[in-house]
Amino acid sequence: MTGAELMVKSLEAEDVKYVFGYPGVAICPFYDAILDSEIKTVLIRTEQNAAHSASGMARMTGKPGVCAVTSGPGATNLITGIATAFADSIPLVCITGQVNSELIGSDVFQEADITGAVESFVKYSYLVKDAKELPRIFKEAFYIANSGRRGPVLIDVPIDVQQAEAGDFEYPEEVKLRTYKPTVKGNVLQIKKTINQLEKAKRPLICVGGGVSLSGAQEELKALAEEFRIPVVSTMMGISVMPTEHPLYYGMVGNNGFPWANRAMNEADLIMMVGARVADRAVNQPERVMKDTVLIHIDVDPAEIGKNAGATIPIVGDAKHILKEISEYEMDGEFDGWIKSLDEYRRTMPLTRTPDPAFVDPAEFIRRLSLKLEDNAVYVADVGQNQIWSCKYHVVRNGRFLTTGGMGTMGYSIPAAVGAKLACPDRQVVAVCGDGSFQMSMMELATMSQYGVKVKIIVLKNDYLGMVRQYQHFTYKDRYSVVDIAGNPELEHIAAAYGMKFLSIENMEGLDEKLDELLSKDESCLCRCIIDPMDLV
């Protein structure tokens, strides 16, 4: 077999269903070999989105998403997508073609040192020199990407290595890496200490991050919160771990979070962080919030513990295991008074929005949209004001909420929604973006049309880069610089050009009927909502 055939066989051995990518000469042997496989290929319209689509797929399947692009500009275009996946700990296996190995270093056509360029955004990378090593490298790459703290792994394969004869395919049974042994089970002693501290606590709080979804521990988390009656808040990446309307759930914390959730963080005497980094957007001043607080920090990555806040009890391991182990203990502790006061905060700290009735109110729109969505719908939020509204007002029941909280890459929602929909064709998938983020990925409407991917795209249109405008409003006293995007295309024509249904919502009148029209048929739809350009999150 050739190296390229070994690559495809390896992907088959990993049960890969889709490869997102964009070909070029240096990856052509691979794209030729994949024609003889059951694996489906998706031609994405720009490489960055191949990584985002793979990310959407990975988040829905729990397995690494795969993308394959060519050398040079193909590979460098992929970088933002890789960095996004890295910041959000999403498992990806990214394959890049490379120029002939004899020519590496001589700056030939479409040569880029991609392993060098992505070093600080990948969990690991390989530059393959011998085709015989491909099965071992693929086995390792899938294992590394999807164990421990998840993340992207890049495999750079020179064209001559793809073409080389490399013998029969034999996929290794197991991975042998002496330098990589992620901790799964939590330390028993630390877990006992946790129980002791919980028994002493008067105002305990669980703060969940993206790590809970990545470990597939949503059920365990909910069970633990219910068993011990501990209230829960979440970071942006932790949204959809708990159903929004669960009585013990108080929503998102942080700069853009709910005031009562932040108050809960400030008043708690014990915080159990699960799969969260205590990063700046969630906990603005960790030294202040955590000063007199017992911090139990559960994370699979030991480097995250103590990085932004010193933990009283660090527990390294997989959230699913640890939460289950904690639940097995009996715990005396009664927090109903604390829960009551949190309910009171939520009741008495209303969100003051005064929407202009001439426009669609994005907050109310998102709330009503989410109530109309199917129970297990997948909601993909982009970046900008739209992201914050989505985080605050989307009501999650049994669905998923996907967004990029770490890198905050505009244009994420459409390609990620494409990946999510292909992973779960039976589930409703909506992408909600602004008119700025929409234009960063609108080329993917072609991908949707070509492969029949039925995603509902909602564009909150205000003719501004709203989040930056809002920042300039506060910080530069309305001196707006480079945030006016009035040259926007007419979205109706865009939809028509791609053969998509179009829907326009100009104000709140008859919103429910409009939403029914949007969601009733299993078809892709581009929906434009005109929102107040001066609105603030």
Partner 1 sequence: MRRIFSVLVENRSGVLSKVAGLFSRRSFNIDSLAVGETEDNAVSLMTIMSSGTEQTLEQIEKQLNKKLDVIKVKTFDESRAVSRELMLVKVKCTKGNRREIMEICEVMKAEIVDMSEHLMILQICDTPDKIKLMLSLLSQISIVEVARTGTLALQKCMDD
Of 397, 519, 498, nearest in space to 456 by CA: 519
How many residues of this chain bind partner 1 (CB under 8 A)?
18
Residue nearer to partner 1 on the CB measure, 134 or 383: 134
46 binds partner 1 (CB under 8 A): no
* Residue recorded with tokens 């059951």: 38
Q: Using CB under 8 A, which of 301, 325, 361, 535 touches partner 1? A: 301
* Binding track, positions 6-45, relative to partner 1; x by CB under 8 A: ----------------------------------------
In the numeric block, which tokens belong to residue 337? 């008074």
Residue nearer to partner 1 on the CB measure, 124 or 169: 124
Residue nearer to partner 1 on the CB measure, 259 or 302: 302
Using CA atoms, how far apart are residues 206 and 265, in angstroms rounded to an integer?
A: 9
Residue nearer to partner 1 on the CB measure, 105 or 357: 105
b/e 216-250 (16+ beta carbons within 10 angstroms → b) = ebbebbbebbeebbbbbbbbbbbbbbbbbebebbb
CB of 387 to partner 1, least distance (A): 26
119 binds partner 1 (CB under 8 A): yes
Using CA atoms, how far apart are residues 513 and 134, in angstroms rounded to an integer?
A: 54
Residue nearer to partner 1 on the CB measure, 61 or 293: 293
Q: Using CB under 8 A, which of 180, 329, 451, 502 touches partner 1? A: 180
DSSP 130-147: -GGGHHHHHHHHHHHHTS
**Which residues face 40 on adjacent strands?**
18
Residue nearer to partner 1 on the CB measure, 88 or 444: 88
Using CA atoms, how far apart are residues 446 and 453, in angstroms rounded to an integer?
A: 10
503 binds partner 1 (CB under 8 A): no
Q: Using CB under 8 A, which of 123, 203, 400, 421 touches partner 1? A: 123
307 binds partner 1 (CB under 8 A): yes
What value, to the nearest 5°, has the Cα angle with vertex 79 and ends 78 and 80? Answer: 100
Q: Using CB under 8 A, which of 172, 243, 302, 333 touches partner 1? A: 302
Q: Using CB under 8 A, which of 189, 303, 351, 497 touches partner 1? A: 303
CB of 404 to partner 1, least distance (A): 20
179 binds partner 1 (CB under 8 A): yes
CB of 351 to partner 1, least distance (A): 37
451 binds partner 1 (CB under 8 A): no
Do residues 447 and 42 touch, judged by C-beta distance below 8 A?
yes
124 binds partner 1 (CB under 8 A): yes
Q: Which stretch binds partner 1 (CB under 8 A): 89-97, 178-186, 334-342, 450-458?
A: 178-186
Do residues 95 and 123 touch, judged by C-beta distance below 8 A?
no
Q: Using CB under 8 A, which of 55, 84, 115, 447 touches partner 1? A: 115
Alpha helices, DSSP H, located in 96-187: 114-117, 134-145, 159-163
Do residues 96 and 22 touch, judged by C-beta distance below 8 A?
no
Q: Using CB under 8 A, which of 105, 130, 165, 177 touches partner 1? A: 177
- Interface positions, 136-155, toward partner 1 (CB under 8 A): 144
536 binds partner 1 (CB under 8 A): no
333 binds partner 1 (CB under 8 A): no
Do residues 88 and 239 touch, judged by C-beta distance below 8 A?
no
CB of 125 to partner 1, least distance (A): 9
Residue nearer to partner 1 on the CB measure, 56 or 186: 186
Do residues 198 and 225 touch, judged by C-beta distance below 8 A?
no
Residue nearer to partner 1 on the CB measure, 243 or 306: 306
Of 527, 536, 208, nearest in space to 372 by CA: 527
Residue 350: count other Cβ atoms within 10 Å of its Cβ.
Answer: 9
Of 89, 106, 109, 86, nearest in space to 97 by CA: 109
Task: Report in angstroms the alpha-carbon separations of 32 from 241, 261, 450, 519.
Answer: 41, 53, 20, 39
Residue nearer to partner 1 on the CB measure, 116 or 216: 116
Contacting residues toward partner 1, per CB under 8 A:
115-116, 119-120, 123-124, 127, 144, 177-180, 301-303, 306-307, 310
